[in-house]
Amino acid sequence: MKTIENISRMSTFAKMMKKEGKSIGLVPTMGYLHDGHLSLVKAAKKHTDVVVMSIFVNPIQFGPKEDFEEYPRDLKHDEEMAREAGVDVIFHPLLKDIYPEGYATYVTVEKLTSNLCGESRPGHFRGVATVVTKLFNIVKPEVAYFGQKDMQQAMMIKKMALDLNMDIEIKIMPIVREKDGLAMSSRNTYLSGSERRDAAVLYQSLLKAETLIKNGERDAGKVIKAIEDMIKAKESARIEYVKLVDARGLKDIKTITGEIAIAVAVFFSNTRLIDNITIMVK
């Protein structure tokens, strides 16, 4: 495995691979790897010849009051984990090379990004779409892998690739969870012991909602209330949103029918966590 910092070296390497007829799989990350990331690597290794993992904490997807500075970083440890998982190249570009002085170009995906995290984090998805476009152009993958944990992001990237004719297959892989159901996230490391215990309520509340719906509940408001009640019972929890949306357009629904997603964003003290499940209702 090698680590490449230089953008044009990465681009040249990608073109070399293509000339040799090899397909490239890209796993874009912000580093501080966990088993969620590694599940993407595993999938990439199955379908493509060369697996590139990008590690870049992208400032333009963080709001001014968000955790860009504090976001956990540990390249050495990431390199060990990536090597063990079979990554061929880590692409770890410098901030000043990705956004040189005078940088001015942005990619936006409308509609899908207006609800959920798009509502509470203005500019977030523009930042993601922009950096992913850049990574795609540099690494030139045939397939790119995203996690279902960031459902709205993954759907946006899929839509962007389609709309802009990027000729890249976007694969969305299932959420990987801790033993108590908490969705893996680099931000879990922020949690204190008691916050960590409280955070398990996210998935528990989603499972409770699923049970309610399987038992016939069709009123979205009632399901939301049940989730909120469970989360509010935890001392460190502060709800940002609990929403039921249609799984295609991510618009709020009132009546539960068809393929739906339940998505939650909750602060545990200063740590913002998200989770979701999708349910098919006949």
* Residue 37 falls in the annotated catalytic set: yes
Tell me the two tokens of residue 120: 């509470």
Q: Which residue from 154, 151, 157 is spatially nearest to 260, judged by alpha carbons?
A: 151
Q: Which is nearer to a copy of itself, 41 or 160 (CB)?
A: 160
Judged by CB, which is closer to a copy of itself: 69, or 167? 167
Q: How far is the CB of 105 from a copy of itself (least distance, A)?
A: 4
What is the spatial distance between Cα 84 and Cα 45, in angstroms, rounded to a whole number?
A: 12
Burial class (CB in 10 A: 0-12, 13-18, 19+), 123: middle
Give me the residues that bind a copy of itself (CB under 8 A), please. 7, 11, 102-112, 129-130, 133-134, 137-138, 159-160, 163-167
User: What is the closest distance, in whole angstroms, from the C-beta atom of residue 187 to a copy of itself in the complex?
Assistant: 28
Sequence-ordered list of residues with C-beta below 8 angstroms from that of 282, at least 6 positions apart, any chain = none
Q: Taking the complex as a whole, how short is the minimal distance between the CB of residue 104 and a copy of itself, in angstroms?
A: 4
For residues 96 and 37, give the distance between their C-alpha atoms in angstroms, rounded to a whole number: 25
Closer residue to a copy of itself in complex, CB, 30/161: 161
Please identify which of the residues 34, 37, 47, 124 carries the catalytic annotation: 37
Kindly tell me which of 140 and 196 has the beta carbon lying closer to a copy of itself. 140
Neighbour-count burial for 46-62, b at 16+ CB within 10 Å, e otherwise:
eebebbbbbbbbbebbb
Distances (CA, A) of 18 to 15, 22, 25, 35, 89: 5, 5, 12, 29, 15
Active site residues: 37
